[in-house]
Amino acid sequence: MAKYYVNITKSHTSPGKHDVHEERCPYTPPHTVFLGFFNNCEMAVFQATKFYSDVEACTICCTGCSKNKEELMATEKAS
Ligand SMILES: [Zn+2]
């Protein structure tokens, strides 16, 4: 389990998006909302969508998650 955070302000690296980071990520911004403890970044990104409509997983600490976001949300709606 790891702590995850979402950027309060919109990201510079992903314009218009609120980026999600794991606690240990060197790119975690100074102003964040604590999302909770999650087993994987997919769940953290899903939680972040409850705060902001435009979220994106950090490409450094959440490798692979950003690609699967739409897929994950579709799965969550189906279940
Ligand atoms: Zn990160």
The structural domains of the chain, with segments of one domain joined by +, span: 2-78
Question: What's the gap in Å between 61 CA and the centre of ligand 1?
Answer: 4
pLDDT higher than threshold 70 for residue 76:
no
pLDDT the model gives residue 22: 95
**Residue 71 binned pLDDT confidence (cut-offs 50, 70, 90):** low
pLDDT for res 4:
97
68 C-alpha to ligand 1 centroid (Å): 16
- Measured in Å, residue 74 CA sits from the centre of ligand 1 at 24
CA 44 to ligand 1 center in whole angstroms: 12
For residue 5, pLDDT beyond 60:
yes
Q: How far apart are CA 23 and CA 58, in angstroms?
A: 12
- Helices and strands: H and E segment counts in the chain: 2, 4
- Residue pLDDT, tens place only, 15-70: 789 999 999 999 999 999 999 999 999 999 999 999 999 999 998 899 867 555 45
